[in-house]
Amino acid sequence: MSETALELNNVWKKFIKGERYDSLRDLIPAVFRNTLSGNRSSELSGMEFWALKDISFQVRRGEALGIIGPNGSGKSTTLKILSGILRPTSGKITVNGRLSALIEVGAGFHQDLTGRENIFLNGSILGMKKEEIKRRMDEIIEFSGISEFIDTPVKRFSSGMYARLGFSIAAHVDPEILLVDEVLSVGDMWFQEKCLEKMLSFKNKNIAIIFVSHNLESVNVLCSKTALIKKGTLRTIGDTAETIREYICSNQEEAVDVATENSISNVKLLNMKNELVSICYPEQKCRLTFKIRCDKPFEECQLGFLIHRLSDGLSICDYNLPLNSIKRADSSGDTADGAIDFDINLLRGSYSVSLHMYHYPSATFLTRVKNIAYFSVEERVSWHGVTHISPLLHSIG
C-alpha cells in the first residue's frame, strides 16, 4: 500500500451563484427570453465563481491534517470533493483506501427510526456490512453514552445527542481515511474530549485524518500539519502553530479603525523591547499601545480591557481601568496615547483582546472595539489549562 492516503492536484471548483431555474415553469419562459435576446453566455458567466482555486496537498497515512479558515472559504467543498460527493471542475484527486466522511453528523438519520435502527441505517450508509454493525453495536452505544435513549426515535434527541450518536457510528466504521467537518462543536466538552482521544488513537493506527474545525485548540492538539484556506485559495500549509498564527494575524489586518468622535485606534501589541508580537510565553510582560479620542472629561471615563480565549470564547479577564491615569496629548485636545502593561499568566492557546470606553455619568459606551488584537501563547514545555500559576515542585525539610 502506498504511503500517501489522499492527494489533491490543482483542484478547481466552480459554483453558480444566485437563483437557478429549478422548475420547468421558470425554465420555459427563460429559454424563450434568452433565444429572443440571444445573450445567454454573458449572463451565465457573471453568476459563476470559483469556490476552490488551485488547491493541492497530500495527506500521508497516520497523519492528521487540520483545515482552518473563515466561513464560506471552501473547507466543506474540499471534503465533499475528496469523498466523491462533488466532482472538481478541473484537477485530480487520488484516494487510497476506505474513506469515511463526516460532513454532517446524522445526515443519514431518519427522524422516525429509533437510535438503534439508525445505527444500522447510518452504518451501512457509511459502508459497513450488516454483520459488522451487529458485532460492534454494543461498542457504538457504549461510546455514544446515550444507551438509555437508544430505543427512542431520534426526532426526540437533542442536537448534542444526535452528534454523539453520529460520531460514534463514524468512529466505528474502521476507516483508513477519516474526514471530519466541524461536527463536534455541538457535543459537550466531555464528549469532544472523548472524540479527540479517539481520533488521536486513529493516528497511531495509521489512519489518515482531515479535521476541519473552528476550535483551534483541538486542531492544535490533533494535527501536526494544518492548512489555511481563505476565499478558496490555500494560503498556507505547514506546521499547525505557524498556520494558526497566520490565521489569527490575517484577521487583524482586516480590522478597520476609523477615527470618529470617540475612538480607540492604532492598537498594537508589543513586547518590552517595543517589538510587535503575536506569540507570547507564560510569564512574559506585554504592552498594548493605543490612541484614544474622547470628548468627555477623562476623569469620568473608564477603559474596558477584556481578553477572551478564541477556542471557546472563555472570558479570561474583564478589567475596567480609570482613564484619568492617561494624559491628553495637548491640554486642549481630546486625543491621547496610552498603553496597558500586563503579564501573560496564561497557558497554551489563542486569545483576543477587546477594548471599550465607558462614560459612567451617562452610563453609555462611548466606543467599543471587539477583537482588536490577537495573540497566541506558546509554551516551552507542555502545560495545559487556562492560567499560569507558576507551580514549583520541590522537597521540604
Partner 1 sequence: MKEMVNELIHYRELLYILTWRDIKIRYKQSVMGFMWAVFMPMLIVAAGIIMKLAFSFISGKPFNVMDLASISVKALPWSFFIGSIRFSTICLTANSNLVSKIYFPREIFPLAAILANLFDFVIASSALAVILAVGNIGISLNILWLPILLFLLVVLTAGIAFVLSCANLFFRDVKYIVEVVLTFAIFFTPVFYEASLFGKWSSLLLANPVGAILEQINNVVVLHQPPDLFWLSYAATFSFCLFIASWFVFHRSEFLFAERI
Which residues are at the interface with partner 1 (CB under 8 A)? 15, 20, 22-25, 27, 80, 83-87, 101, 103-104, 107-108, 110, 112-113, 117, 120-121, 124-127, 129-130
Q: Rounded to whole angstroms, how far apart are CA atoms 311 and 214?
A: 7
CB of 127 to partner 1, least distance (A): 8
By CB under 6 A, tell whether 71 contacts ligand ADP.
Answer: yes
Question: Of these partners, partner 1, ligand ADP, Mg ion, none, which one is at the site of residue 12 (CB under 5 to 8 Å by kind)?
Answer: none
Site residues (CB under 6 A) for ligand ADP, limited to 33-52: 51
Amino acid at residue number 7: E
In which residue are the cell numbers 425554465 written?
27
In the complex, what is the shortest distance from the CB of residue 135 to partner 1, in angstroms, rounded to a whole number?
Answer: 14
Residues 77-96 that bind ligand ADP (CB under 6 A): 77
Strands 301-309 and 349-359: antiparallel
**Quick check: 309 binds ligand ADP (CB under 6 A)?**
no
Which cell is 214 given? 473552528
CA dist 207 to 105, 191, 298, Å?
A: 20, 21, 60
Indicate the residue among 49 and 120 with the shorter CB distance to ligand ADP.
49
Regarding 72 and contact with ligand ADP (CB under 6 A), the answer is yes
Q: How far is the CB of 370 from partner 1 (least distance, A)?
A: 33
Residue 51's binding partner out of ligand ADP, Mg ion, partner 1, none, with CB under 5 to 8 Å set by partner kind: ligand ADP
Under a CB-based contact definition with an 8 Å cutoff, are residues 51 and 74 in contact? yes
Q: Least distance in Å: CB of 112 to partner 1?
A: 5
Smallest distance from the beta carbon of 69 to ligand ADP, in angstroms? 6
CA pair distance 171, 389, nearest whole angstrom? 37
Which whole-number Å values give the CA distances from 389 to 283, 343, 375, in the listed order?
9, 12, 19
CA distance 210 to 203: 11
Q: Which is nearer to ligand ADP, 243 or 354 (CB)?
A: 243
By C-beta, is 72 or 385 nearer to ligand ADP?
Answer: 72
Task: Output the smallest distance, CB 78 to Mg ion, in A.
Answer: 9
Strand order of the β-sheet with 285-293 is 263-271, 285-293, 335-343
- Residue choice 55, 68, 74, 369 for contact with ligand ADP (CB under 6 A): 74
Q: At its nearest, how many Å lie between partner 1 and the CB of residue 153?
A: 9
Query: Which residue in 355, 347, 362, 260 sits closest to 309, CA to CA?
Result: 347
Q: 222 Cβ partners below 8 Å, 6+ apart?
A: 64, 66, 196, 199, 200, 203, 209, 211
**Measured CA angle at 344 (ends 343, 350), to 5 deg:** 150
Q: Which residues contribute to the site for ligand ADP (CB under 6 A)?
A: 15-16, 51, 69, 71-77
